């Protein structure tokens, strides 16, 4: 009797235990699936970096802006980089002056009015709330690298993109501002960009660098 009773009880116990364990297992698996579906994918862009394809696109646009500006009829990059004031800076520049540079930079509005590059950058980037810096990099007569800043809107963040275009200047070209002289006849103290390559028609090669963020 007691033997038969205990068998019946343990059978029903087992049935209930299976059901309970089955429910608990199903809940655990369901929770795991839910958790997995809800978990965010962490990539480098999650930390605030802008998407790589967007960056590549902005860089291409900046590069294109430089190429278009270089081929402009009148206010091209060569014209822009020869717009000297005769005392080591650029004419009509009235913006902030950087600490290690002895000349003011351009206000964005002035830069936009004067040069083709400014016009393109303004239409594409400034009007969309983006910022840019424009720098001219060159080698001086001691083959040391130096640079002048044309437009400065702040220190670029780490996710900014750059594009550059090399412009060649020649001895026989003239400055384009009110201060007028051929490059080869400029007094040694005056040039904004020094003569790098003496004994050849080339005056210097200047890299115009645009940094956008």
**3 — phi, psi (to 5°)?**
-60, -45
Cα–Cα distance for residue pair 24/111, rounded to 1 Å: 70
The Cα 133–Cα 154 span in angstroms is 8
We find the least distance from the C-beta atom of residue 158 to other proteins, in angstroms, to be: 9
Q: Please, which residue, 14 or 123, has the CB nearer to other proteins?
A: 14
Q: What angle do CA 89, 146, 64 make, to 5 degrees?
A: 80
User: Which backbone phi and psi does 160 adopt, to 5 degrees?
Assistant: -80, 160
Please report how close the Cβ of residue 101 comes to other proteins at its closest, in angstroms: 19
Nearer of residues 148 and 209 to other proteins, judged by Cβ: 209
Which residues of this protein are in contact with other proteins, per CB under 8 A?
A: 10, 13-14, 17-18, 21-22, 24-26, 28-29, 31-33, 35-36, 39, 41-45, 52, 55-56, 59, 63, 67, 70, 76, 78-79, 137-139, 143, 145, 160-168, 170-174, 196-197, 199-202, 204-207, 209
- Separation between Cα atoms, residue 38 and residue 57, nearest integer Å: 31
Q: Residue 208 gets which letter from DSSP?
A: E
Instruction: Quote the least distance from Cβ 209 to other proteins, whole Å.
Output: 6
Q: Which is nearer to other proteins, 114 or 209 (CB)?
A: 209
């Amino acid at each position: 009797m007691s033997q038969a009773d205990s068998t019946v009880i343990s059978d029903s116990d087992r049935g209930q235990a299976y059901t309970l364990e089955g429910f608990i297992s199903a809940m655990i698996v369901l929770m795991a699936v839910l958790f997995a579906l809800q978990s965010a994918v962490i990539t480098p862009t999650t930390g605030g970096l802008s998407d790589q394809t967007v960056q590549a696109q902005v860089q291409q646009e900046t590069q294109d802006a430089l190429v278009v500006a270089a081929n402009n009829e009148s206010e091209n990059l060569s014209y822009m980089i020869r717009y000297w004031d005769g005392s080591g800076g650029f004419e009509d520049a009235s913006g902030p002056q950087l600490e290690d540079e002895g000349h003011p930079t351009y206000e964005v509005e002035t830069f936009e009015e004067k040069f083709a590059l400014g016009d393109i950058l303004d239409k594409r980037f400034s009007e969309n709330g983006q910022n840019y810096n424009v720098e001219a990099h060159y080698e001086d007569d001691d083959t040391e690298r130096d640079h002048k800043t044309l437009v400065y809107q702040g220190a670029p963040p780490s996710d900014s993109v750059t594009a550059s275009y090399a412009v060649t200047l020649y001895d026989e070209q003239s400055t384009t501002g009110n201060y007028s002289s051929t490059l080869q006849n400029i007094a040694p103290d005056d040039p904004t960009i020094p003569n790098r390559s003496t004994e050849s028609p080339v005056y210097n090669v200047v890299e115009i660098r645009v940094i956008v963020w």
